[in-house]
Amino acid sequence: MRGPHNIFRLIRTGATFERTGAMRVILEALDAPPLLRLVVRGLTWPVQWLGLRGDPSMPPATRALTALGPAYIKFGQVMSTRPDVVGDTLARQLRVLQDKLPPFPLAAARAEMERELGVRVDDVFEHVSEPVAAASIAQVHKARLRGSGEAVAVKVLRPGIERAFRRDIDAFYFAARMIELLSPSSRRLRPMDVIAHFEGVVLGELDLRLESSAASEFAVNTERDEGFRIPRIRWALSARRVMTQDWVEGVSMGDVEALDAAGHDRKRLAARVLELFLRHALRDGMFHGDMHQGNLKVGANGDIIALDFGIMGHIDEYTRRVYAQILFGFIRRDYRRVAEVHFEAGYVPPDRDIEEFSRALRAVGEPIFGMDASRISMGRLLAYLFEVTERFGMETRTELILLQRTMVVVEGVARSLDPHMNIWEVARPTVEDYIKKSIGPTALARDLARTAQVLARFGPRLPEAARLALVERSRPARPPPRRTTMALLGGMALGGGLVIAGVLLGQLL
C-alpha cells in the first residue's frame, strides 16, 4: 500500500544515512551549502538510532545503501559512474555495488535452478561454482555443461527480491506524493510519473525471460558492429528466475589498472563506448539501459563485451530524429537551430521566448567546447541546466528517463577511462552518419514509401474514416486537452541539449 506507513521507511532512510556516516560523506562530496548541511543533519541526527547498522567493514555510503535495499543500490550504481559529481573517492567506493555485493548461498542458488528449470542440477551441469559476481538483483555462477564441457554463466535472482523492491518503490511513491503536495513547483518534474517509470523498469528486470529475449534481439541488431560482442543465450536452460549464457572472459571496464596491464588503449575504449551507445540508440532505437562498468568487459582482443540485459531502452524513430538534430546542432554550435527543434517538438511551451532560450542553450554549451573534460564541473552544469528547464517550463518526459540515465552513465564510464576526452569530437561522426541516412531526400522517399504502404493496407477503410472525422468535426467544440499530442512526443531528456555530456542525471534516479 502507498500509505502513511511509509513515513517510517523514509525516516529510517535518513536515519541510516546519518548512523552510518554516509550523510556527512555525501553532503561533502556534493559540496552542499552550509545551510543545507545544517538543516539536513539537524533533521537526521536526532533519529539516527532508528537507522540500520549495515556492514561496518564497508565505507559509509556503500554501507548505508546496501543496508537499505536493492532500489537504493541501483541509485548508488548510477552515482558510481559520476566521479565528476560525487568525487573520485566516493565513486570508487560505490563501484563495489556493481557486482561485488554479499552473495547468497550456493545451495539456495542450486535449489532455485532446479525449481525453475525442472531438472536436477547435476544432470545438466558437471560443476557449478560459488558466485563469481553478486549485484542488487541477482548473482552469477560459472558452470560447465555436462557432456560438452562448455563454460556457461548462470544468473539467478536473489530470494525475495521482488518483495524487497516493491517495499522500496512503495516508499518512493509516498515520498513523490509528499513532494508534489508540499512543493507545487516540483510538479513539472512529475515525480509520481518518474517513480512509475522506475517501477516498470525494475519489474521488467525481475523476469529473466524478458532479459533473455532482449539479449537475443540486441545480439541480432549489433551482430555487424565490429569490436562488440554479446554472449549467446542458452534458451533451454533459462526461465523466469534463471538465465544461462555463454561464459566470456575479459577485464572489467572498471579496473583501469588491469586494462593498462593488458595493454588496452583506454582512450580508444572510452571513445568506443560512447560511439556504440549513440549508434545503438540512433540506428536501432534499442540500447543497453544499464551500461555501468560492472556490465562491460574488455576481451583479450580488445572487444567490448556487454552483459546484463535486464534494462533495455527503446526510442521511436521520430524521437531519434529529434535527438539527432539537437545533438548535431550542438556539435555545430548552432544554438538557434537547437532551440527551434525544442519548440518544434513541443519540448518547450510555445509561449516562451525562443531567442532567450537560444541564449540559455549557448550558456550551457559554450563552456564545454574546447575545454579539457577534466576541468568541467558537472555539478555546476547540472545546477545551471536545472535552472534552465525550470525557467522555460520544461516538464519531465517519463518515456525518456531511461535514456537520460543511460547517457549519464555512459558518459561517466567514458570519462573514467579518458578524463580528457572531447565528447563532441567523438560524437560527431556517428551523429553525422545518422543525419545523412535519416534526415534528407533519401529518408523522405523512404517515409513516403512507408506511408503509401499503410494507405494501401487501409485503403478500403479510408472513406468511412473520413466520414467519421467530418462528423466529429461538425460537433460542438470541446475544451482542448491540457497537453497536446505533439508535446507528449517531446522529452526533457533533450532539454538543454547536453545529452552526451550526461547533464540530466535522470532526475537523480
User: In the Cβ-directed half-sphere of 120, how many Cα atoms lie within 13 Å?
Assistant: 4
Residue 225 annotated in active site = no
Q: Which residue has the cell 542553450?
A: 361
Cα dihedral sign, 283-285-291-295? negative
Which residues, including other chains, have CB under 8 Å from residue 379's CB and lie 6 or more apart?
30, 31, 84, 85
141 closest CA partner among 119, 120, 158, 162: 158
For 491, phi then psi, to 5°, come to -170, 130
Helix (H) or strand (E) segment spanning residue 470: helix 462-474
53 closest CA partner among 93, 5, 100, 17: 17
Q: How far apart are CA 38 and CA 45, in angstroms?
A: 10
Name the H helices within 118-190. 121-124, 161-182
131 closest CA partner among 159, 152, 102, 111: 102
Separation in Å, CA 17 to CA 11, 22, 65, 87, 98: 10, 5, 8, 18, 20
Q: Check: CB of residue 410 under 8 Å from CB of residue 277.
A: yes
Separation in Å, CA 156 to CA 140, 146, 166, 289: 6, 19, 19, 20
Q: How far apart are CA 477 and CA 370, in angstroms?
A: 54
Which residues, including other chains, have CB under 8 Å from residue 14's CB and lie 6 or more apart?
23, 43, 44, 47, 51
Active-site residue, selected from the candidate residues 170, 290, 308, 418: 290
Instruction: Indicate which residues carry an active-site annotation.
Output: 290
